[in-house]
Every structure is written in structure tokens, then in C-alpha cells.
Amino acid sequence: MDLPAFFKENPKAAVAFSGGTDSAYLLYAAEAAGADVWAYYVKSAFQPQFELEDAKRLCAKLDVELKILTVDVLADKAVRENPADRCYHCKKLIFTTIAEAAEADGFALLLDGTNASDEEGDRPGMRALRELSVRSPLRECGLTKSEIRRLSKEAGLFTWEKPAYACLATRIPTGEEITAEKLESTEAAEDFLFSLGFTDFRVRRFGQAARLQFPASQMEKVLERREEIVRELKRYYKMVLLDMEVRT
């Protein structure tokens, strides 16, 4: 099955939209196939502001209805305490919220952007998607991440080269309580590094320190801007550490 055939069989659906490459292409494919589709974005403490702005921009470009829902993820003890299966509890909360809103809008089918490159062992939240009967057309149609980027570029979507971006909660070690302050510090630190032109990096919490991870190609630039980076990030962390095991 390909995406046009999928949407011929399922001409009306809601899409859980993150603002990223995969769900952006899914929305595009649905529109191109003539499906009646709305996008649902969940705003929470785990999502940085730029993801919401990208979601708005993409939906405006595609002329897709965007519904923005707010979820207090930190009010859920199972999420806040950050156990090994935190992603399951978070996904269950978020997708339940979307499913309820979508049903109220007349959508019985909920889709997400999981692709064929996403192995289930790497995505503990997939259990929540199965329990809620969320379908993943990109995965069902065998589309890998590299294929989705290529097709997105051909379609003229600005998201085609957008780096993968895991939620802010992933920067906090498993078992350490997640707080709004820790998430805000992470977002501020990463926003600053984005402003310097860095991409595809992570600012991970390591006790009271920031542990910075960069691709090998950016390490020289990191050292050139070392003093500036340390000065700014010490507004949020007691120490700033550079991880020599670079992101690949």
C-alpha cells in the first residue's frame, strides 16, 4: 500500500502533529490525496516554542486546520517522576487528549508520524499508540526517514531537512524528577546555542551541570565560542561540560 491508497481507504482523519519532518509529510500527503484532515498539536512543558511555530507555519502553507491543545504533563505523577517507561505514560496522556478532541470534531481515526525507520524497541511510547488504536501510515507504507526527507524536499516542505528533535524531557536522566525549572533551563540553553548557528546538538542535565553533545563537524566552532557558551549557560547550570563522545 502507498499513501494515496491509504487515504483513499481512509479519507477522513486527525493527525497528531509535532511540527517535525515525518508528521509534516504525512499532512502534505493527506492533503495531496484530497483527504479531510485536521492537525492536532499538543503544547506542553516538554515541547520548545519553535516546534509550535513550525507547526503553525506548515499548516498555514498547506491550508490545514490546526488545533492547539494544552496538556499539563507534569501534573501526571507517572510522567513527572521520570521512570524508564515515562514515554509510555506521556504518550498515553497526550494521545488520549488528542483522540478526545478529534472525536468531538468528528474524527474517528487518529494518525501519527511514526515511520518505517522507527524500531519499536527504540520507541516505548508505541505501546500507548497500540492501546489507543493510533495508526501510522508512513510505517504501514514502508516509508523510511531518508525517503520521507527526499519526498519532503521534492514537495517543497521546509521541514525536509529539519533535524530530529526529541522532547525536552529526554535531556533529564531517567529516575530524576522532571520539573518546570529544569525544562526551562534546557530550552533556554538550547535556544542560545541555536542562535549561534549550532544544529543537531543536545544539552543534557548531569547533576547540576550541562553536558553538551555536538556533531563532530561542529566541535571546532564549539571551542572557538567556548567562553561565550560557558558564560551564557552558567546562568542556568553550575558547570558546563563538553562530551567528547560526539553525536553521530
- Tell me if the pTM is above 0.85: yes
**Mean pLDDT over residues 116-131, rounded?**
78
Range of the domain at 21: 3-161
- The more confidently predicted of residues 125 and 219 is 219
**Mean pLDDT over residues 127-134, rounded?**
92
Question: The CATH number of the domain where 229 resides is what?
Answer: 3.30.70
**Mean pLDDT over residues 58-85, rounded?**
96
Distance, CA of 61 to CA of 56 (rounded, Å)? 9
Domain membership of residue 153 (yes or no) is yes
- Burial status of residue 3 (CB atoms within 10 A of its CB: 0-12, 13-18, 19 or more): buried
CA–CA distances in Å: residue 10 to residues 3, 18, 26, 106: 10, 21, 13, 14
One-letter amino acid at 201 equals F
Residues 149 and 183 in one domain: no
pLDDT computed for residue 182 by the predictor: 97
Final residue of a domain: which of 161, 190, 211?
Answer: 161
Q: Is the pLDDT of residue 247 over 80?
A: no
Residues 31 and 92 in one domain: yes
Domain count, the chain: 2
Rg of the chain over Cα atoms, rounded to whole angstroms, equals 19
Q: Is the pLDDT of residue 121 over 60?
A: no
Mind listing the pLDDT tens digit for each residue in 155-202? 999 999 998 888 999 999 999 999 999 999 999 999 999 999 999 999
Q: Is the pLDDT of residue 123 over 90?
A: no
Residues 55 and 84 in one domain: yes
pLDDT computed for residue 29 by the predictor: 97
Contact 65, 103 (CB under 8 A): no
H or E, element range at 104: helix 86-104
Q: Is the pLDDT of residue 210 over 70?
A: yes
Distance, CA of 198 to CA of 178 (rounded, Å)? 26
Contact 80, 93 (CB under 8 A): no
Domain membership of residue 166 (yes or no) is no
Interstrand relation of 110-111 and 202-206 (parallel, antiparallel or unpaired): unpaired
Residues 14 and 73 in one domain: yes
One-letter amino acid at 140 equals E
Q: How many other C-beta atoms lie within 10 A of the C-beta of residue 63?
A: 7
Distance, CA of 27 to CA of 94 (rounded, Å)? 19
pLDDT computed for residue 126 by the predictor: 85
Question: The CATH number of the domain where 136 resides is what?
Answer: 3.40.50.620
pLDDT computed for residue 243 by the predictor: 95
SS3 109: coil
Contact 162, 20 (CB under 8 A): yes
Mean pLDDT computed over every residue of the chain: 94
Q: Is the pLDDT of residue 45 over 70?
A: yes
52 alpha carbon, distance to own chain's centre: 10
Residue 135 DSSP one-character state: B
Interstrand relation of 65-70 and 36-43 (parallel, antiparallel or unpaired): parallel
Q: Is the pLDDT of residue 28 over 70?
A: yes
Q: Sign of the CA dihedral 158, 159, 165, 168? A: positive
Residues 114 and 231 in one domain: no
Residues 133 and 227 in one domain: no
Count CA atoms closer than 13 A to 158's CA, side-chain side: 12
**Mean pLDDT over residues 24-28, rounded?**
97
Domain membership of residue 20 (yes or no) is yes
